[in-house]
Amino acid sequence: MKINWFKYSAPMNFYPLAGKLIPLFWILAIALIALGLYWGFFKTADVLSDQKQYYRIIYVHVASAWMAMWLYAVMVAWAMVGLVFNTRLSFMMASATAITGTVMTVIALATGAIWGKTSWGTWWDWDPKLTSFLILLFVYIGYIALQSAIDDVRRSDKASALLALVGLALVPIIYYAVNCPDPNECASLHQESSLERVESNILIAMLITTLGFWMYSFATILMRVRTIILERERNTSWVSKLKEFNN
């Protein structure tokens, strides 16, 4: 039997589906993050002796940084679908993704600052790598603020979607800054991306933690989009019936 996936583009049909998926993603998130951190903290050798034990913050720092960039691309994708097809759910998904993306960016910046203080002796360095990530946080906040500043939902969705599209240029800039092939061109305290040189045990722990963060993102985004759906569809008959059923 074929499943009509297009029917889930309607908030009324997507709401119960999201409710069924949330527990699954939470279970996977908790299990994978716990496994990744346990593996990273207790099952990996002290191979980075020059950085002592504080190198283990990479399991959270790298995972959150990857997710911050990935979620921004996802947010823009939903915003573009909303602009092209004028689908309400797409704008709702973009709005829900922005919150989780902001959280991941804050975690990445905070853990990076902690690493910087212990490793380099400074909380912050105004280099292209760190500055571009800080700008990404400002774009996330700007997107959320713009949506809140405009009372008309349709106008706020379209305006914030255009802002997100402009900010999309930051993602390749951040990637290039972190993976800059010329150290003289992108000189900074922040080390280059070097996954190919990471010990396999550490890399496995890092990837498992990242997958857990991914599942966490799915769970929180679906939770937020359900709240947004109820808020925006509060005057519809199906939401009224849902409230009566819950009461």
pLDDT in the model for residue 160:
93
Grouping H, G, I as helix, E, B as strand and the rest as coil, residue 170 is: helix
pLDDT in the model for residue 49:
47
Q: Band of the pLDDT at 6, cuts 50, 70, 90?
A: confident
Q: What is the per-residue pLDDT across 123-145, written as a single tens digit (0 to 9) for each?
A: 777 777 778 889 899 999 999 99
pLDDT in the model for residue 173:
73
Dihedral (C-alpha) 144, 147, 153, 156: value to the nearest 10 degrees?
Answer: -120
d(CA 206, CA 122): 25
Q: What is the per-residue pLDDT across 39-80, written as a single tens digit (0 to 9) for each?
A: 888 877 655 545 556 677 888 998 999 999 999 999 999 999
Q: Band of the pLDDT at 184, cuts 50, 70, 90?
A: low
pLDDT in the model for residue 181:
55
Higher pLDDT, 26 or 122: 26
Note the Cα 6 to chain centre separation in Å.
Answer: 25
pLDDT surpassing 80 at residue 96? yes
pLDDT in the model for residue 27:
98
Grouping H, G, I as helix, E, B as strand and the rest as coil, residue 120 is: coil
d(CA 52, CA 113): 17
Mean pLDDT of 209-230: 97
Q: Band of the pLDDT at 166, cuts 50, 70, 90?
A: confident
pLDDT in the model for residue 172:
76
Q: Band of the pLDDT at 185, cuts 50, 70, 90?
A: low
* Mean of the per-residue pLDDT values of the chain: 84
d(CA 247, CA 245): 5
pLDDT surpassing 60 at residue 191? no
Higher pLDDT, 221 or 7: 221
d(CA 247, CA 244): 5
